[in-house]
Amino acid sequence: MKLNDTAASWRKRPDGSAKIDGSFQYLTDKEVPGCLHARVKRSGIPHARLRRVYTAEAEAMPGVRAVLTADDVPGLNGFGIADPNQPVFVRDHIRFEADAVAAVAADTPEIAQAALDVITIDVEPLPVLDTPEKALHPEAVKLHPDGNILHETFHERGDIQAGFAEAAVVVEETYETPRQMHVFMEMEGGLFVPETDGTLTVYAPTQHGYKDRMQLSRILGWEEEQIRIVSSPIGGSFGGKDELNVQPFGALLALATGQPVKIHYSRKESVRAGLKRHPMKITMRTGVDKDGLITAHEALLVSDTGAYATLGGPVLQFATEHTISGYIMPNVRIEGLAVYTNNGISGEFRGFGGNQALFALEGQMDRLAEKLGVDPWEMRRRNLRQENDPGPLGQRVAPNDGPRGVWEAVQQSPLWKRPSFSRDKQEPWIVRGTGASIAMHGSGLGYGIPDPAGGELRLTPEGKIEAAFGHEEFGQGLVGTLEIMLLRHFHCAENDLLMTIGDTSTVPKSGSSTASRSTNMIWQALEYLVPPFKNTLFKRASALTGAAVENMETGAEGIRHKKSGALLVSYRRLAAEGSLKESTEFHFPLTPDPVMGGHFLYGSTAVIAEVEVNQLTGTVRVTGADHAVAAGSVVNPLGYLGQIEGGSIMALGFTLTEDAVMNDGVYQTGNLDAYLIPTIQDVPKHQAVEAVERLPEGDTYGPRGVGEIGSVALAPAICEAIYQAAGVRVTKLPVEREKLIREEALLEAWMDAEGAETG
């Protein structure tokens, strides 16, 4: 399906208009009369022993209602989805410049800020470990009790030495990727309300409400049920709000003061305190035989995970698997290290380590093909997996021929017919090139990580069919996609439906909204829920009307006669017969083989990019970036296209401009005037997206999510296009203009022109 040409089947998303006209209310827009305002005091120094925090002056300020430090955390002074090793408030060891040392609640944001200004700390500075190399030094200060390595991965198969011995051509290269920022439009924040019944309501965006509830209960020393988390809608997340951020401070201050507390980070604070994509250094050595078949593949991945764990381990695990991706490789040795440093925290981010790994892997494929003298796309084909091949780590996976599907489909792009190199006639220093890449991307969390799912269908007393899921809407279009699925199942009217998400008081546990899993989980849940739900409706209708169940179908307003379409009984009338609820709980489809982090379901993508390099300045413009994506059937064409285009533009930023630069553990790009994301002027005017919907026969897993796959494979395609255009191999992102500027291009043009005139 060519998604750009299917406008007729586009459905307007239910939350669209209000988001466009600005009337949409996010959780961070919430305020209640008399609520206090909170601010967090940060260490301001990347590495030190903390001796003392002086808060007396702040506490004495008029209008200050509470000042909290490490002594005021009743439960666990720590959080982290995988390992709660980030302190809410530092007690003695400052590990990064935005470590929290105190938090203040005051009558106004100005008073809270003034109070922060008079909180001082007594510290003993320590050497700043601002690179994994420094942190791995045997004499480096231990950042955590177990040392400075958060996680190690290892995968080996075949005989790597023999593999290299068989190789006709070997390429070795080291690839480096940037510290990319999520740049969601809504910064982290929320409202924390102590209720009269002794419970706490938290209105704060997050990708997994129940996980926040668990983490907060640990910090407060409360039962989970005492906390209600309202977590959607969210003004963008991309992984950046998966982990706790403001919640510990807001919750503790609300309980300390007994008053509602509002907290909302500024962009500057979000930059310093928030998660980033892991910068990785990946050294790869790959060999192919004379036919271009991979004989050996070796890689060392080192990720800078920053000060604390969050999901740095799983991200490395994912990157490890995706250094193999959709290729068949007999002899493999992959090692990964996630290293703690005094840099800002790296964590979960759309693509989850795949982006870094694929930049390296696809870079290898282009270099190998060139060295061997074969077409790079043809060489990829020879190495791609077949439908029933095992997964990247040798694990059993659902039959998958996606890579071959997209390999073929991307050739439909008009960019495919463009020359791989051309030079501008008027401005000969402008050179153009094209490049392509291919990737397979896992969905779900992978083997070894609990990945539960679930949902509920209910008939409300008002006669609405209510679908309740613990998933979150952060702009990806989940609500719109859910509505489409429900309409297809029930053929009812939009106003017969009620979609409930993002509130632990009303939704079941569905697992997190991450890892391209939500669409797939909802689809599967409805497959389980709808038949028994309809069955009960029909039985009730039959009892009330005497009509035969086999003549019934669901439709607008109620149960209708299959042939005539006449309304037999309304949903409201059926609801009067008593409550009706269907629930399901299941696990994301998992490989039967115990391979840590190995996936079972994958999407695939192929990308072709066209660039224009201006050699006077080294500037790169991406003039085309078309995608083919294989992820099963398209549920919501508008949402699908939006995800691929959005992911692609994010990847364009990752490749060309985005890097949260740190020097000595201090962010140098404090705001969006120095950290540059692409604007509309930086993106191609049109991006063709082709969806390959075909799934292997007998596949029952439904549509795969496409939340990440648009972002994973563009960088290597752009870099190959740059090489074709300018002859420079890029090994470090974002692309350095200093490597592409070439005054000879100008002087040569001059000589050529003079020559042409005199000759």
Closer to other proteins by CB, 493 or 753: give it. Answer: 753
CB of 89 to other proteins, least distance (A): 22
* Residue in 594, 673, 700, 755 binding other proteins, rule: CB under 8 A: 673
Q: Which of 408, 670, 694, 729 binds other proteins (CB under 8 A)?
A: 670
Residue of 676, 701, 729, 731 interacting with other proteins (CB under 8 A): 676
Stretch that binds other proteins, among 216-224, 357-365, 468-476, 670-678 (CB under 8 A): 670-678
Q: Which stretch binds other proteins (CB under 8 A): 275-283, 559-567, 668-676, 711-719?
A: 668-676
**Sheet architecture: strand order including 465-469:** 497-501, 465-469, 452-459, 580-587
Q: Does 663 help bind other proteins (rule: CB under 8 A)?
A: yes
| CA–CA separation, 121 and 50 (whole Å) | 7
Amino acid in position 135: A
Please calculate the CA angle 468-473-477 and round it to the nearest 5 degrees: 105
Judged by CB under 8 A, does residue 738 bind other proteins? yes
Q: Report the residue from 617, 664, 693, 699 that binds other proteins according to the rule CB under 8 A.
A: 617
User: Site mask, other proteins, residues 253-292, x = CB under 8 A?
Assistant: ---------------x------------------------
Q: Smallest gap, in angstroms, from Cβ of residue 615 to other proteins?
A: 8
In this chain, which stretch among 87-95, 184-192, 322-330, 615-623 interacts with other proteins, using CB under 8 A?
615-623
- Cα 549 off chain centre by: 45
φ, ψ for residue 405, nearest 5 deg? -60, -45
Tell me how far, at minimum, the Cβ of 681 lies from other proteins, in Å: 4
Instruction: Answer for the pair 581, 494: CB distance below 8 angstroms, yes or no.
Output: no
- Which one among 506, 619, 623, 633 touches other proteins, defined by CB under 8 A? 619
Query: Which residue(s) pair with 440 in the sheet?
Result: 604
Query: For residue 458, what are the CA distances in angstroms to 14, 166, 575, 580?
Result: 20, 62, 10, 6
| Neighbouring C-beta atoms of residue 636, cutoff 10 Å | 24
Q: Name which of 460 and 623 has its Cβ closer to other proteins.
A: 623
Which has the closest alpha carbon to 559: 537, 532, 530, 583? 537
Task: Tell me the torsion sign for CA atoms 691, 474, 437, 615.
Answer: positive
The footprint of other proteins on residues 408-427 (CB under 8 A) is: 426-427
Please report, as a single letter, which amino acid is at residue 226.
Q
In order of 226, 516, 596, 671, the CA distances from 153 in angstroms are: 39, 23, 9, 34
Contacts of 407 (CB under 8 A, 6+ apart): 377, 380, 381, 384, 438, 606
For other proteins, the binding residue among 252, 656, 666, 714 (CB under 8 A) is 656
DSSP strands (E only) in 552-595:
552-554, 558-561, 567-570, 580-587
Give the residue, chosen from 9, 17, 108, 113, that forms a contact with other proteins under the rule CB under 8 A.
113
Cβ atoms of residues 357 and 716 within 8 Å: no
Cβ proximity to other proteins: between 7 and 756 the closer is 756
Distance of CA 463 to CAs 304, 325, 470, 495, 535, Å? 53, 48, 22, 10, 16
- Residue 383 or residue 655: which is nearer to other proteins going by CB? 655
Instruction: Supply the minimum distance, in Å, between the C-beta of residue 130 and other proteins.
Output: 14
With residue 537 as reference, give the H or E element that holds it.
Answer: helix 518-545
3-state SS, residue 37: strand
Q: Are 205 and 241 in contact (CB under 8 A)?
A: yes
Q: Residues 29, 117, 152, 156: which binds other proteins (CB under 8 A)?
A: 117
45 vs 457 by CB, closer to other proteins = 45
Q: Do residues 601 and 587 touch, judged by C-beta distance below 8 A?
A: no
What string of DSSP letters covers 165-190?
HH-SEEEEEEEE----B---SS-SEE
Residues in 469-498 at the binding interface with other proteins, rule: CB under 8 A: none
Q: With contacts defined by CB under 8 A, how many residues of the chain interact with other proteins?
A: 37
Minimum CB distance to other proteins smaller for 71 or for 673: 673
Applying CB under 8 A, which part among 223-231, 449-457, 484-492, 676-684 lies near other proteins? Answer: 676-684
CB nearer to other proteins: pick between 216 and 662 = 662
State the Rg of the chain over Cα: 27
Binding residue (CB under 8 A) for other proteins from 29, 543, 661, 696: 661
Q: Does 54 bind other proteins (CB under 8 A)?
A: no
**Which residue, 144 or 621, is less far from other proteins as judged by CB?**
621
Instruction: Report the nearest approach of other proteins to the CB of residue 226 (Å).
Output: 37
The nearest distance, CB 425 to other proteins, in angstroms, is 9
Nearest to residue 296, comparing CAs of 390, 173, 157, 152?
157
Instruction: Check residue 746 for interaction with other proteins (CB under 8 A).
Output: yes
Alpha helices, DSSP H, located in 657-736 = 714-726
Burial class (CB in 10 A: 0-12, 13-18, 19+), 292: buried
Amino acid at residue number 571: Y
Per-residue mark of binding to other proteins, 556-595 (x: CB under 8 A): ----------------------------------------
Q: How far is the CB of 271 from other proteins (least distance, A)?
A: 12
Given 257, 657, 687, 724, the residue binding other proteins (CB under 8 A): 657
680: which residues sit within 8 A by CB, 6+ positions away? none
Amino acid code (one letter) for 212: D
Q: Contact between 679 and other proteins (CB under 8 A)?
A: yes
The three-state secondary structure class of 738 is helix
- Of 535 and 668, nearer to other proteins (C-beta) is 668
How far apart are the C-alpha atoms of 604 and 56, rounded to whole Å?
A: 58
Residue 732 makes contact with other proteins by CB under 8 A = no
DSSP string, 33-84: TT-EEEEEEE--SSSEEEEEEE-HHHHTSTTEEEEE-GGG-SS-S-B-SS--
- Which residue number, 110 or 225, has a Cβ lying nearer to other proteins? 110
Q: Which of positions 93-112 make contact with other proteins (CB under 8 A)?
A: 110
User: For 1, what's the count of Cα atoms within 13 Å in the CB-facing half-sphere?
Assistant: 20
* 741 in contact with other proteins (CB under 8 A): yes
The nearest distance, CB 654 to other proteins, in angstroms, is 13
* Contact residues for 197 (Cβ-Cβ < 8 A; gap 6+): none
Shortest Å distance, C-beta 629 to other proteins: 26
Looking only at residues 151 through 210 of this chain, which bind other proteins when binding is defined by CB under 8 A?
Answer: none
Q: Whose Cβ is closer to other proteins: residue 25's or residue 426's?
A: 426
Per CB under 8 A, the list member of 118, 328, 616, 728 interacting with other proteins is 616
685 lines the binding site for other proteins (CB under 8 A): no
The distance of closest approach from Cβ of residue 103 to other proteins in the complex, given in angstroms and rounded to an integer, is 17
Nearer to other proteins, 514 or 657 (CB): 657
CB neighbourhood size of 426 (10 A) = 5
Helix (H, G, I), strand (E, B) or coil at 624: strand
Q: Using CB under 8 A as the criterion, which residues of the chain lie in contact with other proteins when the complex forms?
A: 110, 113, 117, 268, 426-427, 429, 615-619, 621, 656-657, 661, 663, 668-671, 673-674, 676, 678-679, 681-682, 737-738, 741, 743, 746-747, 749-750, 753
